[in-house]
Chain A
């Protein structure tokens, strides 16, 4: 299989619910305002970029499966439903086999922290309602139940580059004719525990949460955008090998031209961005860095990058778009999309 078509995209981000606020925020190129997140045991709160409350209560929260879920499930479902659009009806009717791949790095951390806290206080009274929501695949399971999909459903865990691996996985499933389509979602939820943990590696990192979704199929969507490449996943173990991995990822992608857009994973923090700066130092086209605007959303951020690249193509702002992800502690990986001629 040489190409995969984008049928839809969706997003929940610190800019708001849906693609339009994400697009507006990236166009404005102004970092989203910081919010305080209390950190128990410390007077100084943590600075984060959370998803704002939805403009109205999402209809999907009426579904029995979603009543007790944590934010990550809400983000996964909202982004996926936006990407799937009207096809949700056909999935529920059983006329469309759509698989699910949810990618996360920290996953369901809200309920994990809460449940472990209850366990340490007294395991005899720890809540059986909370524990199931700690499981990595809870969000993908809720999504499958909501849309009525019994098709392939994987939750992939890894650093932010895992989202692009999810796109390649969708390609494998579609090439094998296991599915008619696949929605790939990258998602995370904020918690003081993760925000505090990332502070140990860089005091300048601003964590964020949300989700991004890409719905892929073998047949073209209305906007005629297709995925042409996902590079190898170049592993790294330390800072020098991280830079080498970034350079290898860059070498895997076409050279590009001035009409193309680069959507990279720079954070605005020099020592974290070193690999990507080196990899793309000769890039002459347009360039956006969604993490600088939205924050470090981990798997969600790589999904926002991808969604922003696809959206720019759908808006015909460029001929092709490259996505470059130099992850936190695992891999450098890239992808390329273009408008079908």
Chain B
């Protein structure tokens, strides 16, 4: 039953990551992505997925999909019906599922974040509905596959688990909200295992939308640069298998890392612009720390939302400065959107993954394109690859509609 709520455990369970998968323009697996982020590689190229000849901006970080998908319980016919977003999600989920070692799947909650689900299918539906209104061929499949629950159900079928499915569409904070919600389900005793993550594929509607807002950089995405002029779009997914530490230890699972805190607030300010002082960003960072019982002074690295737009980065810089307080100069901050673009509903999940990679590898991912750091940044912006061992990483995700979310991760040490 989803309600009544089970009585919360006397002591809050710790939540660990036991499986992780990632797909971005840098690669279709965890290790390739980790190597790319560590070196500060970039994945931008001219857009090939749709016509951008009339757009201001003509590049994005596209994923190279493989010729075939990994083996699952899906039939070949099922796979043929999948849209681009579903394939990206399935690739990341397959990697996470295999790594987790989970093999029985009934009643595992699935919590996903996305902004546009199978939008490419919706676009194709619309084109045919307007140009050939009496032709219905393939249209029912497009209607079905367009909906976000379709991609979620695909995962359930592919790996044989039964949900429930929760899809959070909080714009660009969706992925972080999904992981945060999954964390809450585990810490509050609603489940012992959860699959979670975020995904989004590039689509013409969304690309044109950000271009119409003149939010896309016509040059290079340079987060926190004094001369920054916009964001770059990308696509991808990250999926994690989360479980309580007790559950993971009982089955002898290898632990990759720990999620220790989550904060989410709404700024109630503007549909597309952040509150200029970053009040909600400050609150979400503070709430994540409070929920973990960790002070800002213990956190060495922040993976910023850092879109590269003038408004986001100035508000976020103000929030980080205020949150870190007098030791702000010691906090390392970077935006990996300089490498893979803004992944929208996938961004928060992929950036949780990057934090996990950095904690485990002992390195800081650089904001490789930024040359002259904005004077508003009182923190240390990481612009070159750097080795550093650290214990806590915080990731920020902010979205349209004033959605703000922060997730706090802790490095896992085998003796714990």
Contacts and interface: CB of A to CB of B under 8 A. Distances in A.
A-side interface mostly = mixed
B212 interface: yes
A236 to B, nearest CB: 9
Interface stretch (A25-33, A133-141, A264-272, A309-317): A133-141
A141 B266 contact: yes
B115 interface: yes
Interface in A262-319: none
Interface residues of A, number: 80
Given A113-B126, A126-B208, A151-B265, A233 B2 contact: yes
Q: Which of A3, A137, A151, A153 has the most CB of B within 10 A?
A: A137
A150 B204 contact: no
Contacts of B165: 158, 233, 235, 330-331
A201 B140 CA distance: 7
A135 B115 contact: yes
Given A105-B147, A330-B149, A137 B268 contact: no
B53 to A, nearest CB: 9
A152 B129 CA distance: 38
Given A135-B401, A229-B4, A141 B204 contact: no
Given A155-B170, A157-B169, A136 B144 contact: no
Contact of B133 (A40, A156, A197, A230): A40
Interface in B190-217: 190, 204-205, 208-214
Given A175-B5, A176-B184, A119 B266 contact: no
B136 A137 contact: no
A141 B163 contact: no
A156 B168 contact: yes
Contacts of B283: 150
A153 B170 contact: yes
A172 B149 contact: no
A172 B205 contact: no
Contact of B170 (A154, A165, A193): A154
B339 to A, nearest CB: 25
A134 B144 CA distance: 19
B34 interface: no
A215 interface: no
Interface string A145-170: 10011111111111100101101110
Interface in B11-44: none
A329 interface: yes
Interface in B154-172: 156-157, 162-171
Interface residues of B, number: 76
Nearest to A1: B5
B156 A235 contact: yes
B347 interface: no
B117 interface: yes
B205 A112 contact: yes
Contacts of A39: 133
Contact of B1 (A107, A196, A229): A229
A132 B400 contact: yes
B99 interface: no
Given A39-B133, A200-B140, A153 B403 contact: yes
Contacts of A42: 133-134
A172 B266 contact: no
Nearest to A236: B153
A229 B266 contact: no
Interface string A97-138: 000100001010000110111011011101110011111111
Contact of A158 (B149, B184, B268): B149
A197 B140 CA distance: 7
B130 interface: yes
Contacts of B204: 116, 119, 123
A154 B177 contact: yes
Given A131-B212, A150-B266, A200-B143, A141 B400 contact: yes
Contacts, number: 226
A282 B268 CA distance: 48
A263 B4 CA distance: 20
Contacts of B123: 116
A5 to B, nearest CB: 13
Interface string B52-72: 101110000000000000000
A142 B401 CA distance: 7
Given A3-B4, A136-B171, A200 B205 contact: no
Interface in A1-40: 1-4, 39-40
Contacts of B210: 131
A196 B164 CA distance: 29
B2 A230 contact: yes
B266 A193 contact: no
Given A136-B169, A151-B266, A141 B134 contact: no
B267 A152 contact: no
A282 B190 CA distance: 32
A197 B166 contact: no
A271 B218 CA distance: 53
B306 interface: no
A299 to B, nearest CB: 12
A153 B271 contact: no
B130 A40 contact: yes
Contact of A150 (B56, B185, B265): B265
Nearest to A104: B169
A235 B163 contact: yes
B55 A135 contact: no
Nearest to B173: A137
A57 interface: no
Contacts of A2: 4
A136 B164 contact: no
Contacts of B148: 157-158
9 contacts: A124-B55, A131-B208, A132-B209, A138-B271, A141-B403, A153-B266, A155-B169, A193-B129, A331-B164
Q: Identify the 4 closest CB pairs spanning chains A and B, nearest first.
A: A141-B401, A41-B133, A168-B2, A233-B164
Interface of B: 1-5, 8, 52, 54-56, 107, 114-115, 117, 122-123, 125-127, 129-130, 133-134, 136, 139-140, 143-144, 147-150, 153, 156-157, 162-171, 177, 181, 184-185, 188, 190, 204-205, 208-214, 264-272, 280, 283, 399-403
Given A123-B54, A158-B165, A235-B153, 11 more contacts: A2-B4, A123-B204, A128-B213, A132-B213, A141-B402, A169-B166, A176-B184, A232-B164, A235-B156, A329-B153, A331-B164
